[in-house]
Amino acid sequence: MKTKAIPLSDEKFQSRLSLQTCKQVLRAKENGYLDEEVLKIRDTLYALADIDYEHFQATKQEAKVIELNTNRPDETESHSLHPRKYRRAS
């Protein structure tokens, strides 16, 4: 039983790769892929990429950001732990 490829109607997918480009990348002739199969593979990969991007955006918002450049006076001053051990020779 063959199923028909239904193109995605989302606006996100309007700038998809062309069928010819997908055939070239997948080596459709060598692997025996039909045009419908190539379109299904392309649409599935776009759907997976969309899911991954949405997950990335969700985790990015939840991530805790630690600032590296906190300029507090006690951290910007130089404090010597061993003042005499590493002294310059006089």
pLDDT in tens, 8-60: 555 555 688 999 999 999 999 999 999 999 999 999 999 999 999 999 998 88
Under the banding of pLDDT at 50, 70 and 90, the label for residue 2 is: low
The total number of structural domains that make up the chain: 1
Which amino acid appears at position 34 of this protein?
L
Kindly state the helix (H) or strand (E) to which residue 35 belongs, with its residue range: helix 35-62
pLDDT of residue 25: 94
Q: So what's the pLDDT on residue 36? A: 95
The answer to the question of residue 36 being in a domain is yes
Determine if the pTM surpasses 0.85.
no
Q: The tokens 């025996």 sit on which residue?
A: 32
Per the structure block, which two tokens stand in for 12?
């996100």
How far is residue 14's CA from residue 10's CA, in Å, rounded to a whole number?
Answer: 7
Q: What is the pLDDT of residue 21?
A: 94
Task: Return d(Cα 34, Cα 88) in angstroms, integer.
Answer: 78
Boundaries of domain holding 41:
17-64
